Structure 1
Amino acid sequence: MTKQNNISVFEHQRLHVGQFGFKQSHLDALLKLNEYHDGNYFEPIAKGIKFNQYVGVIQVDGLTIEINPKADKSDDDYKWKGVLLKMLTACGKLKAESSGAANVKRQNLNLLEVYFELYLLEVESLVRKGLIKQYRKQTKNTKALKGKLEFAGHIRKNIVHKERFYTTHQVYDSNHFLHQILQKALSIVTQFTNGSRLQDLVNRVQINFPEVDNKSITAKQLNEIQLNRKSNSYKNALELARLIILNYSPDISSGKEKMLSLLFDMNDLWETYILKQLQKACEGTDIEVSGQESKSFWGSNSLRPDLVLRQGKKTFIIDTKWKRPQKSSASVSDLRQMYTYCRFWDAAKAMLLYPGDYAENKFKSYLTDDYSKHTSDETSEIDHQCKMGFVSVLSNNGELDSNIGKSILQIASLHPAK
């Protein structure tokens, strides 16, 4: 097996061929992966790549690349190591009780190993409790006539063996689609865990798992899975299997090794994290929090602010921005976007929310400040106002700040009533 090399980088960092064991074959594979995903993951540069806002891990051709989140280039790197796992847990994308997640710093595990361990433990639990059986159709030769006789196939296959019947009939066993999905993911995990701490667990799960047909599985099939009361216990394992299968790229790697990437858009993750923290802070109060509300704008286009907060007749708009502004003020395009949200949602105030040391500036009116120079729209009966707010993701002890929701309400000048 190829010796594994590990590279740890941060979002928006550059990586060139020749650095840390990064080869031309790795670059070729990553560029193909990027092309497959519409160029979202990286920016090609001379003999290298520049990472975008996607964070996570990529494993290809003996190389593991960990991409860590980092809100601002001036931050200390050590602050952000391990933040991704904590945010994924807080957003419900990772189980808090995972031993891999708990020991990620001590054992220097990467995100793939954590998800692999979670998946293997889920499958092992299902096997221990007893795997379900389902009815399925099977077409084959039998010694007794049962089901539907496939006449053309029977003539073709049994012209000599008169004692056989080529039929389509129902079978009740473990060789059904749900288990075929789990086995497909197991085979992928096996490829990427040889020689690792998880190899014994993989072998144990594989030995106890029933033999099933190896079939191609599409994203459409994975998205159309319907569980019932009997199969509902498979939910977590199938979600993890779906994640593993859809991020496996056997045809992209330039070498013999296959590629597996597990990447998350930090913009989406930051938005989800803030939404959940605000919902937690406003639970049992008179403030209602919703995310991704949509209103028709022009034809098939729609407007969709990240967060909408309502308190009585007051509406407040928040747009989350993971990357902090280069200057002390927001861009004109961001201000126009927030102004449009205010108009369509009849909101008097809006805020652009960034990660960083706790800070804020005063609400400013669009009609009396510099923004009015960039727009001729002065017909609103509401004096729409906007501000920039910054909240610290981490507390002083390096953990996720459990009071971040309350801090946001304070910046927004919203005072919840029980």
Structure 2
Amino acid sequence: MANSKNPIRVFEHECLWVHKGEDKLLPEQLKSFQIFYGEKGVPYYKLIHNGIQFNEYVGVIKVGDLTVEVLPKADKSEDKALWQKTLINILKTVGVFNIHAPSSSTLQLRSNSILDLYFELFINEIEYLLHSGLIKKYRKVERNALALKGAINFGKHIQKNLVHQERFYVRQTVYDLDHKIHQLLYKTIRLIRTINTNSMLTSRLGALELNFPEVSDCTVSESFFNNFQYTRKTEPYKNALEIAHLLLFNYHPDVSSGNTNLLALMFDMNLLWEQYVYVSLRTELRNDYTISPQSSKKFWKPNNGYNSTMIPDIVINKDQDNCIVLDTKWKNLNGKNPSPEDLRQLYVYKKYFKAKKVALVYPGEQFSINGGKYYKSSNSELSMNECSAVTLAIDKHGKSSKIVLDKFIQYYLQKT
């Protein structure tokens, strides 16, 4: 039965039921999932009879006291602890867990869940900011004051101070710590205190609340995060604000019109795999190659309306004679051929990008290349146009869970 002490760990596409399975949902927990799913649905899971089935999204969902970690799976390994470590390393590699605080490189929690890791990273960032010194900003206020400092708002002065002639209702510009950045961070501290169940973090959260300056409450708006421009002074706040943004906008209080709250921090594994391959290649190849993510080319224009573009995942040596186009797919082929849709997509990429090589890149247990050629359109003969299915292995047992790229570079890139 699901409990609050240990998170349930499942692999993507697996199911949780109320009536069967090693880890069962409570009826009220399933009801919270059903209400959060609503009529429009959510991409993270789908509803099945007396349960839910997870999709290709991975990460963590917290419903009340229940924490469910959804882990990726690209081979036969059933070791969930190993895949959890791998997922955390993938998130770190692609920049989801970027940190400023020096202490974050040696996190105190050793058997932490993914959610606890987020919380601890945020706590470390705030502790670092408090130690470094919080920044002040100018803001305009209207208030009753005992001294005439600023401009008098005569309308409100007469309204509020008719019997208090010793006071002045003034408009002032103050320079203090009570501004939007600190208001959002404090709101996140209080949110984490509400949903945290890890005793190791409780005292640190309490200390943050005591040491953080008193600030006003604020409304959370997407426009603030989208439009906020970092400066030299505010740059140290970047990672704390990014985690605050993630938590505040993925927290859904009272999803069942009662006292059950839901927090979903989920990532599309297809996008994670694409970013993971790109960052890994960029790190390994360095200055020997140019690597471009999400390069676009126009390929169709309607008589009325906007152009259509094609955007492969990774282009190596774009606009050069040895150009290579890679498209990543988070799926295990299990010895089968790539889908016709994927092969057609790479055929178009090869033509429009004038690529010497094109390849579909999949995860797997070990490195492999399965090359193939397209047929000519005029007859049944094979053309010189090639497309390869490449499998890259993740070193799950290594400290940083790197993609093993040495053979790929040697047998594919360097033979271009």
Using structure 2 for the length normalisation, give the TM-score. 0.87
Q: Does 1:406 align with 2:413?
A: no
1:303 is aligned, of 295, 310, 313, to 310
Within 2, Cα distance between the matches of 1:139 and 1:89? 45
Q: 2:36 is paired with a residue of what secondary structure? A: helix
Q: Does 1:291 align with 2:293?
A: yes
Q: Does 1:338 align with 2:340?
A: no
Contact 2:178 2:214 in 1 (8 A): yes
Question: Can you list the C-alpha shifts for 1:273-326, whole angstroms capped at 9, x where unaligned?
Answer: 1101111121131x2111111223343432110000118412111111111236
Q: 1:146 aligns to what?
A: 149
Within 1, Cα distance between the matches of 2:262 and 2:60? 11
Q: CA deviation at 1:39?
A: 2.5
Q: 1:137 is paired with a residue of what secondary structure? A: strand
Q: CA deviation at 1:62?
A: 1.3
Structure 1: give runs of 5+ residues left out of the alignment: none
Quick one: structure 1 residues 100 and 60, their matched pair in 2 at CA, closer, same or farther if it must change by over 3 Å?
farther
Contact 1:60 1:253 in 2 (8 A): no
Q: CA deviation at 1:254?
A: 5.0
* Identical-residue share of aligned pairs (%): 36
Give matches, 1:137-216, under 5 Å.
Answer: 137-194=140-197, 196-216=199-219
Question: Can you list the C-alpha shifts for 1:13-70, whole angstroms capped at 9, x where unaligned?
Answer: 0111245241232223223434598521112111111101111111112111111111
Quick one: structure 1 residues 337 and 33, their matched pair in 2 at CA, closer, same or farther if it must change by over 3 Å?
farther
Within 1, Cα distance between the matches of 2:113 and 2:256? 20
Give matches, 1:82-121, under 5 Å.
Answer: 82-95=85-98, 106-107=110-111, 109-121=112-124
Q: 1:350 is paired with a residue of what secondary structure? A: strand
Within 2, Cα distance between the matches of 1:403 and 1:257? 39
Q: Does 1:316 align with 2:324?
A: yes
Quick one: structure 1 residues 219 and 156, their matched pair in 2 at CA, closer, same or farther if it must change by over 3 Å?
same
Question: Can you list the C-alpha shifts for 1:232-265, whole angstroms capped at 9, x where unaligned?
Answer: 2222222222222122112435541322221111
Give matches, 1:269-288, under 5 Å.
Answer: 269-285=272-288, 287-288=289-290
Quick one: structure 1 residues 394 and 197, their matched pair in 2 at CA, closer, same or farther if it must change by over 3 Å?
same
Contact 2:254 2:261 in 1 (8 A): yes
Q: 1:228 is paired with a residue of what secondary structure? A: coil
The residue type equivalent to 2:294 in the other structure is Q
Q: CA deviation at 1:210?
A: 0.6
Contact 2:103 2:124 in 1 (8 A): no
Contact 1:391 1:407 in 2 (8 A): no
Q: CA deviation at 1:399?
A: 4.5
Q: How many residues align?
A: 401
Q: Over the residues paired in the alignment, what is the CA RMSD in angstroms?
A: 2.8
Question: Can you list the C-alpha shifts for 1:108-164, whole angstroms capped at 9, x where unaligned?
Answer: x21111111111111111112221211111111122333333333223222322332
Q: 2:116 is paired with a residue of what secondary structure? A: helix
The residue type equivalent to 1:409 in the other structure is I
Q: Does 1:41 align with 2:44?
A: yes
Q: CA deviation at 1:415?
A: 4.7
Contact 1:392 1:401 in 2 (8 A): no
The residue type equivalent to 1:302 in the other structure is T
The residue type equivalent to 1:405 in the other structure is L
Quick one: structure 1 residues 185 and 224, their matched pair in 2 at CA, closer, same or farther if it must change by over 3 Å?
same
Q: 1:10 aligns to what?
A: 11
Contact 2:116 2:198 in 1 (8 A): no
Contact 1:28 1:254 in 2 (8 A): no
Name which of structure 1's ranges 224-233 and 41-50 shifts more when overlaid on structure 2: 224-233
Contact 2:297 2:310 in 1 (8 A): yes
